[in-house]
Amino acid sequence: MRIMADDIETPAQVHDCEPDPSGDLILKVGTPQQETRIRVSSKVMTLASPVLAAMLSPKYREGRTLSDHGFLELALPEDDPEAMVWVCKAFHMKQSLSSISLQLMEKLVRSFLLIAGSISFNLQKLKTRLQVRMPLRLA
């Protein structure tokens, strides 16, 4: 199945997104007025992010809550909902880059780099998971 640019959800359309419908982690992204709730697998996300891996370990309250209850809601109010939806779908193998317009790709890359800086996603893992070559020149 090919994903077309029109199929990409935008914050105006996205309020709930489930890259993993049976996921044990809900990311509450954006401000409470424009919040997007993304259900993901904590295992997938911790493999992609060393910061999330640490945060969801037993040494932190979030990790203990996840372990004790089997479920966690994590607020990320400063992150871009559209970019986070894209990132989560990519890591859960629910997103393809093959048909995204260049303009949308540029916006997503800029937003992704902000998210990557804030929660330390591993760019090489993303590239490998997407199985595409993205020639990016960053100034």
Domain boundaries, the chain: 10-130
pLDDT band at 134 (very low <50, low <70, confident <90, very high): very low
Question: Does residue 132 surpass a pLDDT of 80?
Answer: no
Quick check: 112 pLDDT over 70? Answer: no
Cα 85 to Cα 107: distance, rounded to the nearest angstrom = 13
CATH code for the domain defined by 10-130: 3.30.710.10
pLDDT, the chain, mean: 75
Element (H, E) at 114: helix 102-119
Percentage of the chain beyond pLDDT 70 is: 62
Query: Does pTM surpass 0.75?
Result: no
Nearest partner of 50 among 138, 131, 117, 114, judged by Cα: 117
pLDDT at 12: 43
Residue 117 CB neighbour total at 10 angstroms: 9
pLDDT digits (tens, 9 = 90+) for 49-105: 888 889 999 999 999 999 999 999 999 998 888 878 888 888 888 876 665 667 777
The residue ranking higher by pLDDT, 51 or 36, is 36
The whole-angstrom separation of Cα 81 and Cα 28 is 9
Going from the C-alpha of 51 to that of each of 12, 22, 28, 34, 41, the distances in angstroms are 28, 23, 17, 25, 15
